[in-house]
A and B are shown apart, each in its own frame.
Chain A
């Protein structure tokens, strides 16, 4: 990834009902990102999104006036794709396949197809994924909250973790979001008591362990470090980008390997990021950790080497993830607080932290880690300031 940078970020508002099509959301976010970068649609020659995105690259190109495309690709595995889109874009730029690549994710995930709802069709598909799901869906184990809860229960049992330990993540994210005007939960912090009183979704997860569902779009512009020097914004250098899947990997249900208390795939991503960047956890001044459900924030802290196994609860209890903590996590409020844009809004926040323009700016951020969807094959980034 050497010599590539994130030079533009753009987003729509984050809502529960956008009132417009997903393609329109995508187009608006791309315009915003290009304006931010000081680039025109005609400069773009590559597009990357999620396999799950409903907007084809060519459809988006038609809407925003992008002409010839020399690179387009998609990344699979739900929210695990987030940093993967940037990884693909950076590789395209690094190899010369394209010069300016836009990564995008747009959906009406709240007002349209909601991921949190059971989908009876998932188990019946004759694909390898359908067969994989068939060991779980017939038993009613078929929502993301339920899949995560199964890991969380074992993790709690193994390390003596309490529901309150998960709750502290939600409280921190909502505290950060309360100061972020772009966040859905702007000025709406919660207490640990609120968390404990919120209804069960799937035990051991309360409602406030689960991130919100959102409508919105985010777009990111990737180009070469060289070109970045001439652009409007301070570039966020892509110091490392990686994807990862672990042995015995499944989509959200890797219950048949190891002790079920880690996230092997995130370990793969972490090791690769440190290897590529030559950096280590102690070099990070902040982190964007994928937070669709609170328990996996703890697991990630451990898997990525910020604390030892079973100690994330203590790290968090000691204020480690607060803005002034040892490792400020998700200063924008994360998906629990800002919006659920499948991890892409977190990458935008990482860029702001490098630029020094976040509403919850962590002082002196020269390196920041970003992760993508947990429980699925995933991805990660290390972004940093230009030398």
Chain B
């Protein structure tokens, strides 16, 4: 079965189920878990920061916007009888539309409620949209109506709509990562260094003729004019020669504060890199460090520095 055929099959089955549930109209009238209650009104008004005096004192009324609160199941769920709407959600879940996000909620109030009133509510599914493409993923909008009654007279109504969507497939982080924004420029004079970093080597340019080591590298040996270039693989140890701790302004691809150091290598050259695995405040000049290779994204690996003497590495 092709993807399109599969999708059409889903749509047909879901449509049939939706039509059936919608045709059933209102479900059973269920007593709400608790009556309209003074303590709950007080908590709600406090939580919402609503100081309206009408919600306080012996003559308090219930804030109308609280209406859903009276139907809530509380922490222990599952006591409520199954509703036809539950079949709809289950069918969507089974077909992979497991994501949920509420999109609309409209209330209509017919009168104020006062503490002590017992309410019932009914639920009626009213619509299932066609398959929609959204930023979250493909999905269906489900709409239902709830009516609350007190002594058989409707006191409030709600239209609620949510999107049940198929979450976009999450890629494994190692599979594809967001490109790191601070990319080096690389050319034929410097590529060996970055290739080295990718293969776990800290490479220092070495003159093919006079053997002088040099970092940062360049196309011509400043000592003997040779363009015969090779490289040495550094031992990977060094000491912090100087460092900074960056706080402001924000830097793309980085979380502040972070430490950057000039590291002096035993080979006789200096190199700049981040000091990691140590709080920036604990970095200090003279601190022994050793190289670690940190993958910044799928392509870029940067040599960085972690506290540790050569002995610790051995």
List residues of A whose CB falls within 8 A of some B CB. 116-118, 120, 123-127, 130-143, 146, 149-151, 153-154, 157, 199-204, 207, 253, 255-256, 260
- B244 close to A203 (CB less than 8 A): yes
CB-CB under 8 A for A130 and B243, given A118-B251, A138-B302, A143-B249: no
Task: Specify which chain B residues have a CB less than 8 angstroms from the CB of A139 in the assembled complex.
Answer: 182, 260, 272-274, 302, 304
| B294 CB, nearest partner CB in chain A, Å | 10
Docked Cα-Cα span, A296 to B68, in Å, equals: 66
- B244 close to A149 (CB less than 8 A): yes
| A138 CB, nearest partner CB in chain B, Å | 5
Q: Return the 3 tightest CB-CB contacts between A and B, nearest first.
A: A134-B184, A154-B242, A203-B245
Docked Cα-Cα span, A125 to B250, in Å, equals: 21
- B183 close to A138 (CB less than 8 A): yes
Chain B residue at minimal CB-CB distance from A142: B251
Task: Specify which chain A residues have a CB less than 8 angstroms from the CB of B241 in the assembled complex.
Answer: 154, 255, 260
CB-CB under 8 A for A200 and B182, given A139-B272, A256-B270: no
- A120 close to B216 (CB less than 8 A): no
Contact of A131 among B190, B244, B252, B273 (CB under 8 A): B190
Task: Specify which chain A residues have a CB less than 8 angstroms from the CB of B249 in the assembled complex.
Answer: 116-118, 143
Docked Cα-Cα span, A260 to B264, in Å, equals: 12
Docked Cα-Cα span, A150 to B262, in Å, equals: 8
Q: Does chain A have a CB within 8 A of B285?
A: yes
- B185 close to A202 (CB less than 8 A): no
- A255 close to B189 (CB less than 8 A): no
Q: Does chain A have a CB within 8 A of B246?
A: yes
CB-CB under 8 A for A134 and B185, given A150-B244, A202-B246, A256-B216: yes
Q: Does chain A have a CB within 8 A of B269?
A: yes
Known pairs A117-B249, A120-B181, A131-B216. 6 more at Cβ < 8 A? A118-B249, A131-B190, A137-B182, A138-B302, A153-B285, A202-B246
| B187 CB, nearest partner CB in chain A, Å | 6
Contact of B247 among A151, A200, A260 (CB under 8 A): A200
Docked Cα-Cα span, A31 to B146, in Å, equals: 75
Docked Cα-Cα span, A202 to B247, in Å, equals: 5
| A100 CB, nearest partner CB in chain B, Å | 42
| B201 CB, nearest partner CB in chain A, Å | 17
- B189 close to A135 (CB less than 8 A): no
Cβ < 8 Å to A, chain B residues 167-189 = 180-187, 189
Contact of B245 among A200, A255, A256 (CB under 8 A): A200
- B185 close to A123 (CB less than 8 A): yes
**Interface residue tally on B, bucketed by range:** 35 or more
Contact of A199 among B243, B247, B274, B285 (CB under 8 A): B247
Docked Cα-Cα span, A119 to B285, in Å, equals: 28
- B248 close to A200 (CB less than 8 A): yes
Contact of B184 among A127, A137, A203, A260 (CB under 8 A): A137
| A147 CB, nearest partner CB in chain B, Å | 9
Task: Specify which chain B residues have a CB less than 8 angstroms from the CB of A116 in the assembled complex.
Answer: 249
Q: Does chain A have a CB within 8 A of B77?
A: no
Docked Cα-Cα span, A154 to B261, in Å, equals: 11
Docked Cα-Cα span, A151 to B241, in Å, equals: 10
- B262 close to A124 (CB less than 8 A): no
- B262 close to A260 (CB less than 8 A): yes
Q: Does chain A have a CB within 8 A of B111?
A: no
Contact of A141 among B183, B184, B244, B257 (CB under 8 A): B244
Q: Return 24 A-B CB contacts under 8 Å, by A number.
A: A117-B249, A123-B183, A132-B216, A136-B260, A139-B302, A140-B254, A149-B244, A150-B243, A150-B244, A151-B242, A154-B285, A157-B242, A157-B285, A200-B247, A202-B246, A203-B244, A203-B245, A203-B257, A203-B280, A255-B241, A256-B215, A260-B241, A260-B242, A260-B262
Docked Cα-Cα span, A210 to B304, in Å, equals: 28
Docked Cα-Cα span, A117 to B249, in Å, equals: 7
Contact of B252 among A120, A125, A149, A150 (CB under 8 A): A120
| A349 CB, nearest partner CB in chain B, Å | 29
Cβ < 8 Å to A, chain B residues 250-309 = 250-254, 257-258, 260, 262, 269-274, 280, 285, 296, 300, 302, 304
Contact of B186 among A134, A204, A256 (CB under 8 A): A134
CB-CB under 8 A for A120 and B182, given A146-B246, A202-B245: yes
Task: Specify which chain B residues have a CB less than 8 angstroms from the CB of A201 in the assembled complex.
Answer: 247-248
- A153 close to B243 (CB less than 8 A): yes
CB-CB under 8 A for A256 and B260, given A138-B300, A150-B244, A151-B242: no
| A121 CB, nearest partner CB in chain B, Å | 10
CB-CB under 8 A for A142 and B182, given A150-B260, A153-B285, A154-B285: yes
- A136 close to B185 (CB less than 8 A): no
Task: Specify which chain B residues have a CB less than 8 angstroms from the CB of A133 in the assembled complex.
Answer: 185
Docked Cα-Cα span, A120 to B257, in Å, equals: 18
| B34 CB, nearest partner CB in chain A, Å | 52
Docked Cα-Cα span, A199 to B216, in Å, equals: 33
Binary interface profile of B, 180-218, with partner A (CB < 8 Å = 1, else 0)? 111111110110000000000000000000000001100
- B244 close to A146 (CB less than 8 A): yes
